[in-house]
Amino acid sequence: MNTGTVEGPDGRLRCPWGLSAPEYLAYHDEEWGRRVHGDDALFERLSLEAFQSGLSWITILRRRENFRAAFAGFKIAAVAEFTGEDRERLLADAGIIRNRAKIDATLGNARALADWAPGELSTLIWSYAPAPGSLPAPRTTDDVPAITDESTALSGALKKRGLRFIGPTTAYALMQACGLVDDHLVACIARGAAGRAGKGGDRGAGPEKP
């Protein structure tokens, strides 16, 4: 469906999804499309995008604090040490998504990432960001892709390094959410936010990239 920006309660134009549920407004304005750096912060986003697969993002957003509590704030070093008892705890936690494959992938990804050098995850992910200004600004939601060459390449690179549940579509959702691309519609008030850090965008370790 060809959908352009929609006027919000403050009279300003936003991407239509940003007004589709109350929880989306702050996420759209303050987080989505803003730069996220740091290994732990990106591990969190990567994990949540994987949990979102097959579901709506609002389902994850409404449970985000539960996820953070269940997964030790998504600190890679902490999650990598989770035991079989922790796994059973997660599978019984009604506050998150109790999907066995996704939980196992998150735990396995943390164990794999624990062997990476500090900042390595952040550097790898950001190496797949398109050059600033190289992509046309979407005018409607029809102009926003679900997958790109860069997301396919990023997915392949992460899988090659042992990470799971990160297909090209999930990789592109990660790129959108973390500011590697700016898919706010051209008339949206948040267009251009990709050049700024989002709320909580500097959580975790790892170098800040230009």
**Which residue ranges make up the annotated binding site for Zn(2+)?**
15, 28, 184, 188
Residue 146 token pair? 């679900």
Active site residue 32: no
Catalytic residue among 17, 24, 27, 126: 27
First-to-last C-alpha distance (Å) of the chain: 35
Angle at 126 between CA 125 and CA 131, to 5 degrees: 135
What's the distance, CA 109 to chain centroid? 15
C-alpha span between 50 and 169 (Å, rounded): 10
Active site residue 57: yes
**Torsion angle in degrees (nearest 10) through CA of 131, 34, 45, 109:** 30
Catalytic residue among 31, 44, 49, 150: 49
Catalytic residue among 24, 32, 57, 128: 57
Find all residues with CB under 8 Å of 188, minimum gap 6, and list them.
Answer: 5, 13, 14, 15, 18
Which active-site residues does the annotation give? 27, 49, 57
